[in-house]
Structure 1
Amino acid sequence: ILTAFRHTIFFFFSLQLCGVLILGIAIWVRVSPGGDEIISYGDSSVHFRVPANILISVGAIIMILGFLGCCGAIKESRCLLILFFIGLLLILLLQVAAGIIGAVFRPEYARIVNETLHEEAKLLSDTGDAAVKFQKTIAEFEEVFKCCGLVNGAADWGNNFEKYYKSCECPPNSNSSCAIYEGKYVYKQTCVSSINQYLEKHIIIVIGIAFGLAVIEVLGMIFSMILFCQIGEK
């Protein structure tokens, strides 16, 4: 039984570390600049940072539950262990529900992304002060991802092209990826594909974390029940 206690305490401590790791990765995904800032611009009701926000909450809860499990194992408290089990079970059920919802609405998600980007492409040629912040965000994105415009390439910039062309300027020796627009070498690739790839990459990260977390949660529930039963036998 002593060996089982040691293993269980070690697992609960490892669970706390996993919570810290999940929290750190989720915060990185949440704050890293990229396509989600573009799509969530202005009054858009589409918020693509929600999965990362959920993982931040889950990571924090996992840390707390890991501490709860450690206390329950050290003090041999069946009450704390059952609370730990119920907490993990609720999180697991929420993850399953979120996964099902995500799978069902994934085609709708892709459609909303494309529609939002087509609508926001109009802001690039806007000369109003309200669109300046968005234009600067796109210009920064173009420099990082080596693309130009959102949907129709450099033409999306309209009369603002001369002001922002430096952000999508292409080296003349990169002929395969360059095009000439108004006498300037610019990237052929539009940013819509780069944004979609960026969002897909972050979704894969979130899914991977959620899957690994589900395995850990199941193991946690098994360990807590084993210890719960052993304490009852004593």
Structure 2
Amino acid sequence: MEAQREKRHSCGTICLKYLLLLFNIIFWLAGGAVLAVGVWTLVEKSDYISLLNSSFYSASAYILIAAGVIVIVTGIIGCCATLKEMKSLLIVYLCLLLCIFLLEIIAGVLAYITYQELDDQLTQNLKVTMQQKYQQPGEESVTQAVDKLQQEFKCCGSHNSSDWIDSVWIQGNERLVPDSCCKTPSDLCGRRDHPSNIYKVEGGCIMKLEEFILSQLYILGAVGIGIAFLQLVGMMFTCCLYQNLKEDPY
């Protein structure tokens, strides 16, 4: 009877080890994906940072990168703890999972609050930034960001193309809008602001930029929910394995 119970115990422990190893592999891959998204966000979309008076955009990218690194390291610790059957290392692993889970909840709440503030800032400040800083000395990053924004999102002006009428640069120029407003950009193409020549988008670039930032939040949210679900599963497996393992002499 005792031998049978020991055999069942061993089978249960082995199954839990394999399940936890599988979880850690998935968790490690998820961390790599989060890290990749963070790096992509920072490298490909960093031009828009100069248009925002908030550090939210760059901060969200760095949060993703940091989260990816932490998840990868945690996954490695989990694999070591599982393979070596060290209860002390399993406790460290469980604490790390719990900390990341709590941080995700805090980050989610802060992201929602920050987005509301960012939305107000965009409405109030993007028009002024585009009118007063575009093509001005020392504002090369803003100029580059505006041109990229208008071309990539196929928009013109903060709310519409008429916003450029009050631009400091346009007033001393023969163009009505920047050349980046044109559907087919070329030198001096901004002299004609007909809908056949430039982008006429209802809501302008503010709406497009808001949609983009919101989509980034959805990515953050989806990644957070996915990892949070994995963590709950991982914590459950870790607790079960901890209970099934013999006392670790170390």
Instruction: State the TM bucket, normalised to the shorter chain.
Output: 0.7 to 0.9
- CA distances 1:43-62 after superposition (whole Å, capped 9, x unpaired): x4543221221121111111
What does residue 108 of structure 1 align with? 117
| 3-state SS, counterpart of residue 197 of structure 2 | strand
* 2:44 alignment counterpart: 32
Identity %: 23
Q: Is the 8 A contact 2:27 2:75 kept in 1?
A: yes
Give the structure 2 partner of residue 17 of structure 1. Answer: 29
Question: What CA distance in whole angstroms lies between the structure 1 residues aligned with 2:195 and 2:210?
Answer: 29
**Contact 1:118 1:151 (8 Å CA) reproduced:** yes
* Corresponding residue of 2:8: none
Instruction: Determine helix, strand or coil for the equivalent of 1:186.
Output: coil
Tell which structure's C-alpha radius of gyration is larger.
2
Does the 8 A contact of 1:35 with 1:199 survive in 2? no
The answer on whether the counterparts of 2:47 and 2:145 sit within 8 Å (CA) in structure 1 is: no
Where do 5+ consecutive residues of structure 2 fail to align? 1-12, 185-191
Distance 1:127 1:13 in 2: 50
Asked if the contact 1:168–1:187 (Cα under 8 Å) also holds between the matched residues in 2, the reply is yes
CA–CA distance in structure 2, aligned partners of residues 148 and 161 of structure 1: 17
Compared CA separation, residues 193 and 98, structure 1 to 2 (3 A): same
8 Å Cα contact 1:154-1:161 kept in structure 2: no
TM-score by length of 1: 0.83
Q: TM-score, normalised by structure 2?
A: 0.78
Q: 1:45–1:15: structure 2 CA closer, same or farther, 3 Å change rule?
A: closer
RMSD over aligned CA atoms reads 2.6
Query: What is the aligned length?
Result: 222
Structure 2 residue matching 1:181: 3-state secondary structure? coil
Q: What is the CA deviation profile of residues 121-180 of structure 1, one whole-angstrom value per residue up to 9, with x for unaligned ones?
A: 2235x5631234322321122122211122342542423563963321137xxxxxxxx6
Q: What residue is the counterpart of 2:199 in the other structure?
A: 187
Alignment of 1:1-234 (within 5 A): 1-33=13-45, 36-40=48-52, 44-123=53-132, 128-156=136-164, 157=167, 158-159=170-171, 160=173, 162=175, 165-170=178-183, 181=193, 185-189=197-201, 190-232=204-246
